[in-house]
Amino acid sequence: MQTNRRNLLKIAAAGAIGSALPFGFAGNAFAANKRIAMVVKNLGNTYFDACAEGAKQAAAELGGIDIIYTASTKPTAEEQIAVLDALVAQKVDGLIISANDPSALIPVCKKAAERGIKVISFDSAVAQEGRIMHLNPSSTALIGAKQVQMIAKTLGGKGEVAILSAASTMTNQNSWIEAMKEEWKKPEYKDMPLVTTVYGDDQDDKSYREMQGLVKSFPNLKGVISPTTIGIRSGAKAIVDGGLAGKIFITGLGLPSEMKDYVLKGACDTFAIWNPIEYGYAATMVLGSILNGADAGPGKTVKMGKKGEAMVADNGEAAMGEPFVFDKSNVEKFAKIF
Amino acid sequence: MSVTTPNRYDVADRAPFRIADLLLRWETILVLLLATVIAFNTYISPYFLDIYNLSDATFNFSEKAIVALAMALLIVSRDIDLSVAAIIAVASLAMGEASVAGASTPMLILIGLAVGAACGAFNGALVTGFGLPSIVVTIGTMSLFRGLAQVVLEDQAITKYPPSFAAIGQGYLAKGVPIPISFTTFLILAAIFAYVLHRTLIGRRIFAQGNNPVAARFSGIPVDRIRFWLFVLTGTMAGLAAVFLTARIGSTRPNIALGFELEAVTMVVLGGVSITGGSGTIPGVVLAVFVLGLTTFGLSLVNVPGIVINVLNGSLLIAAISLPIIARRLLGKRA
């Protein structure tokens, strides 16, 4: 009898522990961090690395959030869809996407939404039906105008100017170029014609060759605008290598760490960019508040932590702020940051 | 030794069955590899063995796999087609233009297949008509076809496709059956290709000319005609892949399917098809499709960067090519 009772107790105790264990684990699983995946166009791009850094800062500030930073190896829609499929399969909590194709990502983003995953886009937008909102670093008009203003200031408003862009398919580069052309219509740029637009496909070697080609095809070329971090660094290198520093100036969107040498050597007078660390930070802050139940629909205001607030427009887009200009005076300081 | 020497006038239909041969077969190694991949993926991610996730994963490799089937026949016959990804771009472009002009879904599918076949015929005509090496011809047409798409599309994308067309690329076999249409098509095609290559006269001829085109020619095999039609077949399969891919992503861009040709060749070579022609099996290619597809999916589930996955797939490929050669050398020395 007694041994039996003891055995029963043992079994009961074991059973209690046994049944408590999975509950304990389940409790942990519930308490585990929320996972936000930042999916960018392609890996190996310092700009996106800086965005991811900002995302991690925001995650640390918010607490309880893990950042997964990933991308496809090729900047095509189908490769990015494969990456997104894997993240949806893992049941992450939120997605921050820089799209390689705005409409091709709609089905996978809708699938994510159906499974309760919150989707926003930054840098390069997903079409409106595929995401809750899109955060622009600045407004397209401001970015385009800024670049034309910078080269006009450098050249004194005189001389032929060309554009060295990324791939001809890149949504954001194309919309910035549209905005540049809009700014270019103003009378103060009448002595500064836009001669051509070439595409370096966001590859260093191709951008370098396109820059050399520009110099050969347009002997009177004075300035180049490159609205891509890879284009501007390769273009600036081609200017320095060709001994053209001081004769041809490049401007556009670049990273201080990559442009520092070229600014100091005189190939580039000024260039601009928003701070990608702040950009990744702001996007993560927005998604963090959406995960906590905030509404980010058109007409609503979203919170971006220390970057303040932004109003979501009717097209579901919001702007973080104005682009920031770098020159000889501040490039060395920022080169240490990003 | 009392090994019966076969009569020199007896020609066996196939080599005598031996256990060692079965174990040393490339397909056996691939089955083990696949089992390892599945076990490893299940171990590293709790989301891997989920029927919905796995079926979603097939979307991402079915199109390449369809191309790989035709590519396998082409490589067995000593040719190669590196323009398949560019053919996909042209076929997708043609479907896009037709869709904008208001073509119906069956019409779009027909156009995709027809343009693919036409591109394949162009390759085949250049290779057989002018006696040019296929690798050179298709490197040329790779730039030609993709360039065509880039010239027409510039920086634009065509995104206007009818919903019934999108359903082909994104849809499942039936409601509640999580098997994608594209994956089903791949499996059916694989069965047909396997039958044709391993059980029909055409299949024997493809092997014969892959082993020795001159001897095949003197044996009365219409070598060039078969080569031509294999190019047409490969083009048509690229057209079919274009139908599925375009329908799935609902968008035609100049860079669509970029790099697919090398992934298809990787599937074929990892599948045990000799890159110099003359040997290989369709079941091997199908296994390789699963090994590569599931490796990529499994590693993506634990967020291994795509670059690292590429390195791994590259290593798999090099191992696939070199291991049999090394093994043969070692075994050869011992014998």
pLDDT tens track, chain A, 338 positions? 444 545 544 444 444 444 433 333 333 334 478 999 999 998 878 889 989 999 999 999 999 999 999 998 888 899 999 999 999 999 999 999 999 999 999 999 999 999 999 999 999 999 999 999 999 988 888 899 999 999 999 999 999 999 999 988 888 899 999 999 999 999 999 999 999 999 998 899 999 999 999 999 999 999 999 999 999 999 999 999 999 999 999 999 999 999 999 999 999 999 998 888 899 999 999 999 999 999 999 999 999 998 888 889 999 999 998 788 999 999 988 887 67
Q: Is the pLDDT of residue B13 over 80?
A: no
Domains, chain A, with CATH or none: 33-137+276-320 (3.40.50.2300), 140-273 (3.40.50.2300)
pLDDT band at B228 (very low <50, low <70, confident <90, very high): very high
In this prediction, residue B196 carries a pLDDT of 97
Range of the structural domain that residue B152 is part of:
29-325
Q: A185-206 burial by CB neighbour count: b if 16+ within 10 A, else e?
A: eeeebeebebeebbbbbbeeeb
In this prediction, residue B161 carries a pLDDT of 93
Q: Is the pLDDT of residue B207 over 70?
A: yes
Nearest Cα neighbor of A227 from A281, A172, A152, A265 is A172
Contacts of B159 in chain A (CB under 8 A): 103-104
Q: Is A119 helix (H, G, I), strand (E, B) or coil?
A: strand
Cβ <8 Å between A78 and B256:
yes
Contact yes or no for A3/A62 (Cβ under 8 A)? no
Number of domains in chain B: 1
In this prediction, residue A64 carries a pLDDT of 92
Does A90 lie at the interface with B, CB-CB under 8 angstroms?
yes
Contacts of B294 in chain A (CB under 8 A): none
Average pLDDT over residues B127-137: 95
Q: Is residue B246 in some structural domain? A: yes
Contacts of A77 in chain B (CB under 8 A): 249, 251, 253, 256
What is the SS3 assignment for A16-38?
A: HHHHHHHHHHHHHHHHCCEEEEE
Does B249 lie at the interface with A, CB-CB under 8 angstroms?
yes
Q: Is the pLDDT of residue B50 over 70?
A: yes
CA atoms within 13 A on the CB side of A38: 28
Average pLDDT over residues B96-116: 96
Find which of A45, A100, A103, A129 to mutate to test the B interface (most B CBs within 10 Å of its CB): A103
Closest chain B C-alpha to A76 CA, distance in angstroms: 7
How many residue pairs bridge chain A and chain B with CB atoms within 8 Å of each other?
106
Q: Is residue B289 in some structural domain? A: yes
What percentage of chain B has pLDDT greater than the value 70?
Answer: 94
Q: Is residue B300 in some structural domain? A: yes
Contacts of B305 in chain A (CB under 8 A): 43, 70-71, 73
Does A201 lie at the interface with B, CB-CB under 8 angstroms?
no
Of B178 and A85, more confident: A85
| CATH number, residue B308 | 1.10.3470
Cβ <8 Å between A77 and B251:
yes
Name which of B155, B257, B300 is nearest A83 (Cβ-Cβ). B300
Going by the DSSP 8-state scheme, the letter that residue A76 receives in this structure is: S
Calpha distance A243→B13 (Å, rounded) = 72
Cβ <8 Å between B249 and A73:
no
Q: Is the pLDDT of residue B69 over 90?
A: yes
Calpha distance B33→A161 (Å, rounded) = 57
Of B109 and B329, more confident: B109
Calpha distance B194→A237 (Å, rounded) = 54
Cβ <8 Å between A90 and B301:
yes
Q: Is residue B113 in some structural domain? A: yes
Does B254 lie at the interface with A, CB-CB under 8 angstroms?
yes
In this prediction, residue B29 carries a pLDDT of 86
In this prediction, residue B26 carries a pLDDT of 86
Find which of B303, B307, B310 to mutate to test the A interface (most A CBs within 10 Å of its CB): B303
Q: Determine phi and psi for A45, rounding to 5 degrees.
A: -115, 115
